[in-house]
Each structure stands twice: as C-alpha cells, then as structure tokens.
Amino acid sequence: MHCNYDITLFPFDLQNCTMQVGSWMHTRDQMDIFFSTPTDIFSYKQNSQWDLISMMAHKLKEFFGAAAVPWSIIDYNIVIQRRPSYYILTFVLPSFIITTISIIGVFAPFNDAGDREEKVTMGLTTLLTMTVMVTLIADKMPKSSDGMPLLGIYIMLQIGIAALSSLMAVIVMYQHCKWTYGESVPQWILTITRLTQKKGSPSAEGPKYLTPFDRQCNRNGFIKDIKDVNSSDNPKEREEQTAIVQDIQLMMRQIIEHLKGVKEEEILRKEWQRAAQRLDLLLMLVFLVLNCILTVGFLAIGYSNLITKT
C-alpha cells in the first residue's frame, strides 16, 4: 500500500492511498483476478480517527521483465478523511480561549483608578502557555517537510496576535506615562479616540503647567498696596509690619500656585487616563475581532475541504 501523504490541511486532511492486489507467481493465463462493483466493504470496521470516503478499484495488465504474458493486478484507490473534532476540542478551542482572555486581560484596567500594571506579565504568561501548546501540537502532528500544516499556521498566528497585543499595551503604557512630564495628549491620540479637549485644561490652553521654580518666580503681587496694612507711625514697627506682610504675601502666593499646579496636574492626568482607556478599548475590540476572524477563517477553510460522507 502506498499513500501520498499530504498534511497541508491537517487536521482536515484527506488522504488517497493505493493498494495493489495481485499474484507474484502466476501470470494472467494461470490465474486471473477480478473485483466486484461496487467494492465490497462489508468487513470494514469504523475507525475513531479516520472516515472511509470511497474505495474504487480498477484492473491493470503489467508486464515484468521479458515475459510475454501479462500479470493481472487490481489497484484499490482508498480515500480516507481525518476526523478533526479531537484536534478542535483539544487545541483550537483552548488556544482561542487563552488568546481571548489574554487580550481582555492585557487591555483591561488594573483597578478603578485606571492604573496599568501587570500587563506585560500577562502577555508573557500567555506567550509561554501558547509555546507549551505548540510543543504538544508538534508531538501530535505528522512529520513532514512539505509545508506547515493548517493547524500549525493557526497556532503561530494566535501567538502573533498575543505578542502584538502585548506590544501595543506597552506602547499605550508608554504614552500614558507622558503626563508625569507635563506633556499634553497628542492630537493623533485625540483623533483616534475621538476625544475633545476640555476648556481650561492644560492641553487646551497650550503651555505646560508651571514648575515649582516658575511658581516661585511668578510673583505679580498679592496685596496691591502694603501701606493699607501699615497703620503704625513708628518707622521701625512699620518696617517690621511690612516684612511680615511680604512674608505672608509670598507664602499665600506659593500656596495658590501650588494648588493651581496640583489642579492642572490632576486635569492632565485625567485627560491621559481617558485617552488611554479609549485606546485600550479600541485595541481590545480590534484584537478580539481579529482573533474571531482568524478562528472562523481557520474552521471555514478546514470544513470547506471536508467531504460529506454518504
């Protein structure tokens, strides 16, 4: 028996095997063989991994060496089809679930404050799990150098989706951390997330919020006229009162500038948080749809090549 083993569509592969039946000792004149039509498969027993699709036979006349009399040979073309349910339930479904949970976990907020922790760890854990699954699949797949099976391509694409989602999560984290440097939300992020800058926010006003040094140097006067609080006729007392008022004025100015800076930082942080949450949601939907399309496409390609058993 000879089989042209093609595993390109594994585990939806269809194999065509040829089995030759004939006599090695007797020529056609001595013994002639025939086959029944249709082929008798009464003794065939069902197999848990393969389905018998068809079994066709045809008779050949072969000449061996210098013999003038031919030999009778019957070729049986046996078409068998692999049952894919075991591989779908054991490898495809777990891979799809693991990748889906990974995408949701990578782009989900860590807490209600929008913190973005442990995302890289989640992505690396998923990649490690998929690598172990590839090792298990490699043991189950038939060995061939003609090409990668369909199931192997699917698993590799799943790993690619998981890796790409982790990379995009790191990029979003890097962009989100820019608020600590006082940078406003870029316009391209606002365009993608369809957000608008609020009036009065540091991003909308243009310049960055003041640094502590700028706040101390920005002294435009808190009390218009110091003489209004200098009621003493004694020059020494008046000088002391003036110094006290100036110290109070400086402290009040610093407090006001500090509170203003804290407010601007909080507004900027919330703007980045809203933009990062929108990016996370958008990327999560994109990768989930991509994962579903990949899985549906894999199943569609596989089942479209299966032959319905009659």
DSSP string, 131-148: HHHHHHHHHHSPP-SS--
Task: Say yes or no to pLDDT of 285 above 90.
Answer: yes
196 within domain boundaries: yes
Q: Please report whether residue 7 resides in a domain.
A: yes
Taking a C-beta distance cutoff of 8 angstroms, is the pair 245, 223 a contact?
Answer: yes
**Which of 52, 83, 114 represents a domain boundary (last residue)?**
83
Residues 6+ apart with CB under 8 A from 29: 69
- Do 158 and 281 lie in a common domain? yes
The answer on 191 and 101 residing in a single domain is yes
For the chain, the domain total comes to 2
- Please report, for the domain that includes residue 19, its CATH number: 2.70.170.10
74 occurs within a structural domain: yes
Q: The tokens of 191 are what?
A: 């365009």
> What mean pLDDT value characterizes the chain?
80
The identity of residue 241, as a single letter, is: Q
Q: Are 109 and 202 found together in one domain?
A: yes
Are 274 and 134 in the same domain? yes
Name the residue with tokens 């889906």. Answer: 100
Q: What is the pLDDT of residues 96-140, one digit of tens each?
A: 999 998 898 888 876 555 555 666 777 778 888 888 888 887 787
Clarify whether residues 138 and 213 are in a common domain.
yes
pLDDT in tens, 149-174: 899 899 999 999 999 998 998 888 88
pLDDT of 301 above 80: yes
Alpha-helical segments (H) within the chain: 85-87, 93-107, 119-140, 150-176, 187-193, 202-205, 212-217, 235-304
Residues 88 and 174 grouped into a single domain:
yes
Residue where the block lists tokens 């069902």: 46
Cis bond before residue 38 (omega within 30° of 0):
yes
Question: What's the rounded Cα separation, in Å, for the pair 158 and 130?
Answer: 8
Let me know whether 272 and 210 are in one domain.
yes
DSSP 200: T
95 and 134 in a common domain: yes
Per the domain annotation, does 173 fall within a domain? yes
Residue, of 70 and 213, whose pLDDT is higher: 70
Looking at residue 298, its pLDDT comes to: 96
Domain boundary among 50, 83, 116: 83
Residues 113 and 13 in one domain: no
Yes or no: say if 110 and 92 are a contact pair by the CB < 8 Å rule: no
Do 63 and 105 share a domain, yes or no? no
Does a structural domain hold residue 240?
A: no
Q: Per-residue confidence at 290, pLDDT binned at 50, 70, 90?
A: very high
* Distance from C-alpha of 159 to C-alpha of 130, rounded to nearest angstrom: 6
Report which DSSP code applies to 218.
-
Q: Are residues 39 and 172 in the same domain?
A: no
Bridge partners of 80, per DSSP, are: 15, 52
Domain limits at 73?
Answer: 2-83
Those residues whose C-beta lies under 8 Å from the C-beta of residue 137, and which sit 6 or more positions away, are 91, 151, 152, 155
Residue 227 lies in a domain: no
Nearest-10 Cα torsion for 197, 200, 203, 207: 160
- Report yes or no: 22 and 72 within 8 Å, Cβ to Cβ: yes
Write down which residue in 83, 106, 128 finishes a domain: 83
Could you tell me if 91 and 163 lie in one domain? yes
Greatest mean pLDDT among 120-129, 223-232, 287-296 lies in 287-296
- Asked if residue 242 is part of any domain, the answer here is no
Please compute the mean of the pLDDT values over residues 175-204 and round it to a whole number: 75
**Joined tokens for residue 112:** 């209600």
pLDDT band at 225 (very low <50, low <70, confident <90, very high): very low
Q: Is residue 50, in this structure, part of any structural domain at all?
A: yes
